[in-house]
Amino acid sequence: MVEAVRTRRGKGRSDDGRPNDHLFDRELDHLPPEARWREWMHRVEATIFAASEPVTRETLARIVGKSCSIDLLIDDIREELRGRPYDLVAVAGGFRHLTRPAYADAIRSAVGGSERAADLTQSEVLVLMCIGYFQPITRAELSSFFGKEISRDFIGHLRGAGLIASGPRSPTPGAPYTYVTTKEFLLEFGLDTLRDLPDFEALEDAGLLSKEKLLAGDIMPDFAGVQQEARADDDE
């Protein structure tokens, strides 16, 4: 019986559940070029649609021919989705299906919004932005940057949300921990990589950030209140 099960498994799938390489036809040489490209498009779109996490290029390369350009394939899929309420978006080092921002209000009205997004205060977003731009960065450096103490509770809340993690120890006296952003941070803010963060000078030009206010500690007037609320929640 065991041998029979092993034989049946060997016909289509390996022990880890993935299709056996020698049986899965990636190249599709029997199809004309146009039909082959269309089938590759369908495979890629179906894989991204079914995945719960962004799908990397390396993963998609397993289901298409060696000569296939993943980027060109994605471009063609996105062109076909141009009139649809969702799109294929590069995020956190992979691709995933996301609804278009224009339908955010309709989705919130129907099924509610993101709890995590509602939990992030303006102060937390600003601290996350600072970590994103200047990581790895210590808590003391963050406090100096904003002119107000960044408490351990505040950092703990961001860590608990999975948006930051401990980075390498700082070479400064005492070797304090530094903090870095995570893949969850990229997912939360719809970024493919940290290179997609807005240009720092562009934020200043747009009036969204002021180095003078930042250094003077005036950029987060509600910061103290936020930290007091966080401490109160922890005490409870």
pLDDT digits (tens, 9 = 90+) for 16-72: 555 556 689 999 999 999 999 999 999 999 999 999 999 999 999 999 999 999 999
Among the listed ranges 75-79, 194-198, 204-208, which one has the minimum average pLDDT value?
A: 204-208
State both tokens at 10: 């060997």
Residue 147 CB neighbour total at 10 angstroms: 15
State the average pLDDT for the chain.
Answer: 80
CA angle 28–30–32, rounded 5-degree value: 90
What is this structure's pTM? 0.62
7/200 Cα distance (integer angstroms): 59
By three-state DSSP, how is residue 146 classified?
helix
DSSP 150: -
- Write out pLDDT tens, residues 203-225: 666 555 555 555 555 554 444 44
Chain-centroid distance of CA 79 in Å reads 23
Mean per-residue pLDDT, 184-188: 89
Choose the weakest-confidence range: 30-44, 104-118, 162-176. Answer: 104-118
User: In this predicted structure, what is the pLDDT of residue 200?
Assistant: 66
- pLDDT computed for residue 108 by the predictor: 83
Residue 8: band (very low, low, confident or very high) from pLDDT cuts 50, 70, 90:
very low
- pLDDT value for 216: 52
Q: Of the given ranges (107-111, 119-123, 204-208), which has the lowest mean pLDDT? A: 204-208
pLDDT band at 199 (very low <50, low <70, confident <90, very high): confident
Q: What is the pLDDT of residue 211?
A: 53
Distance CA 40, CA 60 (A): 10
Between 108 and 167, where is the model more confident?
Answer: 167
